[in-house]
Amino acid sequence: MLGGVKPLTDMEYAECFNAFKSVSSEWMAIEEWLSKDFVPSMGGRRSAKVLSIGSGTGDFDLILMRMLSDKIPDLTYTSLDPNESHNELFLNQYKKSGLKLSSFRIIAEPFCEDSFEGGFDLIHLTHCLYYIPDRKAAIECAYEMLNPGGILLIFHQTPMGINEIQRTYLKRVKGDEKELFSSYDIIQILNELKLKFSFDILISDVDVTDCIKGNETGRKILNFFMESNLDGLDVALRDEIICNLKDISRSEGGRYFLFHPGGIFWIRKDGLTQGDP
Amino acid sequence: MEINQIKIDDVPIVSVSGRIDGTTSKDLETILNELIAQNMSKIVLDLEGVVYISSVGLRVLLSALKKVRPNKGDVKLVSLQPFVREVFEITGFTKLFTIYPSQGDALGCFKV
């Protein structure tokens, strides 16, 4: 980290993520995609074993769990995330949700080859590959852990939106850009692994008006964008980031929206089932 | 940015030149939305004269594509300049849009 800029603690990260979530339309877009394009193709199964890698606060998982449990009577769900603050939030949300799965567990660990034996029907990596050092190995390993006919879903940022800001500023702000990783890189990896995939981009925006106004919510959102606590950041550099953010956003009704679309990869392990969206 | 429209065999061909960015993309969005509102779900978009496209511009194209696809429509792109093609490749847009070398080729594919 560079002078004045600190890493986010688990608790801070969870707060910043929640601030981001409150101004992002991505979850709505994902929910729509799941309900229209993905979940119908999972129907007809009596049981399914699901692994969520990097489940975070569980927002995506709770949507997926609800949709799948309506279709699949015997649903076993395993979530993996090293952030204990996130896991606590997820567990609380799950308890409040009233969902009753055959089995549900959250494991506070990062994903690695030895995590599980495999045998999953669905594995998803949702916005977590930024934090995994060997992304290619993680994708390959997740694919290997699927049952025949199983599906690997990867939701990840494209080179547009937050990634544009990160490409320009991440290294200047925090001294490294190890989180810089987009759907473009995933396409290269999948091609190297010779895995067939479907790809789609979901339209979603982030309302960055608070960042431009410089209020408390905006401060948290900017921290999330830069994966750091920017409280000690040089004021001139902060102003430059905000100016750039404003430049690449569109203005509508007095607010500023950053186009931050989500990339979706859909990989089916060779097997008997067909019907990709 | 300059936008010209013609229609061949009931297929609108929208030719754009200049920059598609945060300032200009609204005009393109309006034109595409008007065509879609008139039930034109097959659109050819000639980008030969486009020298720059920002993410705001990409949003306009993607949004049009998502609107016409449920009606078995498509937005076919024509003649991308190297810089614009590179943007399309990096963003993954080449996996969603089909790009043709000429308007005739794009129109021909709508007829098949």
Among the residues of chain A, which ranges form H helices?
A: 10-22, 26-33, 59-71, 84-97, 135-144, 162-174, 183-192, 209-213, 216-226, 235-248
Residues of A in contact with B66 (CB under 8 A): 203
DSSP string, chain B: -EEEEEEETTEEEEEEEEEESTTTHHHHHHHHHHHHHTT--EEEEEEEEEEEE-HHHHHHHHHHHHHHGGGT-EEEEE---HHHHHHHHHHTGGGTS-EESSHHHHHHHHH-
Are B54 and A248 within 8 A, CB to CB?
yes
In a domain, A4, yes or no: no
Q: Which two tokens stand for residue A194?
A: 């010779």
Architecture of the structural domain at B2-111: 2-Layer Sandwich (3.30)
Are A259 and B58 within 8 A, CB to CB?
yes
Q: Least CB-CB distance to B55: which of A160, A184, A199?
A: A160
Task: Note the pLDDT tens digit of each residue in A262-275.
Answer: 999 999 998 544 44
Compute φ and ψ for A203, nearest 5 degrees.
Answer: -75, 125
3-state secondary structure of A212: helix
CA A158 from chain centre, in angstroms, equals 11
Residues written for chain B: 112
Q: What is the pLDDT of residue B59?
A: 97
The residues of B whose Cβ lies within 8 A of any Cβ of A are 22, 25, 54-56, 58-59, 62-63, 66, 90-93, 95-96
Chain B contacts in chain A segment 116-145 (CB below 8 A)? none
Q: Any idea what the CATH number is for the domain that residue A17 is in?
A: 3.40.50.150
What integer is the mean pLDDT of A136-144? 94
Residues of A in contact with B90 (CB under 8 A): 159, 184
In a domain, A176, yes or no: yes
Residue A3: pLDDT over 80: no
Residues of B in contact with A187 (CB under 8 A): 92, 95
Euclidean distance between the first and the last CA atom of chain B, given in angstroms as a whole number: 32
Q: What is the pLDDT of residue A177?
A: 87
Q: Least CB-CB distance to B63: which of A158, A183, A203?
A: A203
In a domain, A163, yes or no: yes
Domain that holds residue A123: 10-206+260-268
Strand A255-259 and strand A205-207: pairing? antiparallel
In a domain, A246, yes or no: no
Q: What is the pLDDT of residue B10?
A: 92
pTM for the whole structure: 0.90
Delimit the domains of chain B by residue range: 2-111
Residues of A in contact with B62 (CB under 8 A): 201, 203, 261
The residue among B27, B55, B60, B87 with the most chain A CBs within 10 A of its CB, best to mutate, is B55
Task: Note the pLDDT tens digit of each residue in B17-40.
Answer: 999 998 899 999 999 999 999 999
Q: Least CB-CB distance to A187: which of B55, B66, B92?
A: B92
In a domain, A166, yes or no: yes
Residues of B in contact with A244 (CB under 8 A): none
Structurally, chain A folds into a number of domains equal to: 1
CA dihedral A123, A128, A129, A134 (to 10 degrees): -90
Inter-chain contacts counted by CB atoms under 8 A, chains A and B: 48
Q: What is the pLDDT of residue B111?
A: 78
Task: Note the pLDDT tens digit of each residue in A177-200.
Answer: 888 999 999 999 999 999 999 999
In a domain, A253, yes or no: no
Residue A230: pLDDT over 50: yes
Task: Note the pLDDT tens digit of each residue in B37-87.
Answer: 999 999 999 999 999 999 999 999 999 999 999 999 999 999 999 999 999
Q: What percent of chain A has pLDDT over 90?
A: 77
pLDDT band at A43 (very low <50, low <70, confident <90, very high): confident
Residues of B in contact with A165 (CB under 8 A): none
